[in-house]
Amino acid sequence: MEKYDVKVARKELYSAPASDFTVIDVPELRYLAVDGHGDPNTAVAYAEAIEALYSVAYTLKFASKKTLGRDFVVGPLEGLWRAADLGAFVARDKDAWDWTAMIVQPDWITDEMVAAAVEDAGAKKPLPALDRLSFVSLTEGTSVQILHVGFYDDEAPTLARLHEEYMPAHGLTFNGDHHEIYLSDARRTPPARRKTILRQPVRALSAP
């Protein structure tokens, strides 16, 4: 049985050079998603969100393999980050952040399959974030991204360069939430070697 891997099937979305920003077009994708607020390092809600996402994602994987004969690699953890003040990202003021933790799904996964997986996962163990989990569509369109290697807290200079130099120089402005794709398993990868794609949906500035 061939195993679908989103990082291979959509390589242009799940790889990026670390040397410079690249522009891509991100089509509609569907995600398991949980919204929350606060510092992901300390917020109980964030840990609960991750547990619920992976529990449902693996339940879907096994159900797809068993009932459809279609196996897939569970996608990487991703996050949308937003704040009332965009400077909160550069300043790393994590208590001010709102977030959506996500895992992308293959295009054959349906709402009915997700609903069944949520019910099955909840029957196996208590998952406080299950009632906040949703199955959402996201179309980011034109986006700028770059690969960050290292500590998450060292992203600030790259984000400052993107926001204050690259985007103004190319006549671009924000068109969606800051998006991070965590290619490395934080539980197994030393912080200095973690790989994270930093993505920002953009649009052209209106003519004056």
- What pLDDT digit, counting tens, does each position of 148-193 carry? 999 988 998 999 999 999 999 999 999 999 999 999 988 889 989 9
pLDDT interval class at 84 (50, 70, 90): confident
The pLDDT of residue 91 is above 80: no
Treating both helix axes as pointing N-terminal to C-terminal, what angle do 111-124 and 44-68 enclose, rounded to 10 degrees? 120
CATH number of 25-204: 3.20.80.10
* Nearest of 150, 145, 204 to residue 174 by alpha carbon: 204
What is the percent of the chain where pLDDT is above 90?
81
C-alpha distances (whole Å) from 202 to each of 21, 46, 177 are 13, 27, 10
Which residue ranges make up each domain of the chain?
A: 25-204
